[in-house]
Amino acid sequence: MQNGLIHIYTGEGKGKTTAAFGLAMRMSGRGRKLVWTSFLKDFDSGEFMHALPFPVERGVPVTKFWFLMTDEEKEAIRTEHRARLLGLFERAAREDLDALFLDETLGSLSVGALCEQDVLDCLKNKPEKLEVILTGRAPSQALMDAADYVSELRPLKHPYEKGVPAREGIEF
């Protein structure tokens, strides 16, 4: 592969994780080595219900909303998220990975579960060929400046507006 680039899938719409997952499947199909992780999630979503052609670094499942967590729970999540982030970039260098998929990084940043400077440092010092994909809402200007791709998903129409709740196999 050529020099790796930085991607951000963002916006208020549905499909950020799905877009990143599609890219992961495409890269895997072409024989690229990648690792996927998700922050602030419990992996109880359809895409993780079966064996995948690439490794998933699951970390500690987050099963509670951030605003409902105690200070001790929040600190434990911060510690785990930081260790996982740094560990994945070390793994990428050690294993000569082609890509890291960091799902819901922006959400983790927005609640303070990850430190933006840690993310920016990892992006700045990543292995040259490493492709990095971030998802979530409202990236900072510094992250957008660091990125090569920024794709925004926005809803034009959504069944939630009619009171239709999230459906298994479609939204999760």
Q: Tell me if 83 is assigned to some domain.
A: yes
Q: Tell me if 18 is assigned to some domain.
A: yes
pTM of the model: 0.91
pLDDT tens, per residue, the chain with 172 residues = 579 999 999 999 889 999 999 999 999 999 999 999 999 988 888 888 888 999 899 988 898 999 999 999 999 999 999 999 999 999 999 999 999 999 999 999 999 999 999 999 999 999 999 999 999 999 999 999 999 999 999 989 988 889 999 888 888 8
Q: Tell me if 166 is assigned to some domain.
A: no
Residue-number span of the structural domain to which 137 is assigned: 6-155
Under 8 Å between Cβ of 6 and 142 = no
Cα(78)–Cα(66) distance, rounded to whole angstroms?
Answer: 11
Cα(154)–Cα(47) distance, rounded to whole angstroms?
Answer: 22
Q: Tell me if 116 is assigned to some domain.
A: yes
Number of domains forming the structure of the chain? 1
Q: What is the pLDDT of residue 47?
A: 84
Q: What is the pLDDT of residue 1?
A: 53
Q: Tell me if 121 is assigned to some domain.
A: yes
Q: Tell me if 11 is assigned to some domain.
A: yes
CB crowding 156-167: b at 16 or more within 10 Å, else e:
eeeeeeeeeeee
Identity of the amino acid at 46: G
- pLDDT one-digit tens code per residue, 98-121: 999 999 999 999 999 999 999 999
Please report, for the domain that includes residue 104, its CATH number: 3.40.50.300
Q: What is the pLDDT of residue 169?
A: 84
Q: Tell me if 162 is assigned to some domain.
A: no
- Give me the chain's average pLDDT, please: 94
Q: Tell me if 17 is assigned to some domain.
A: yes
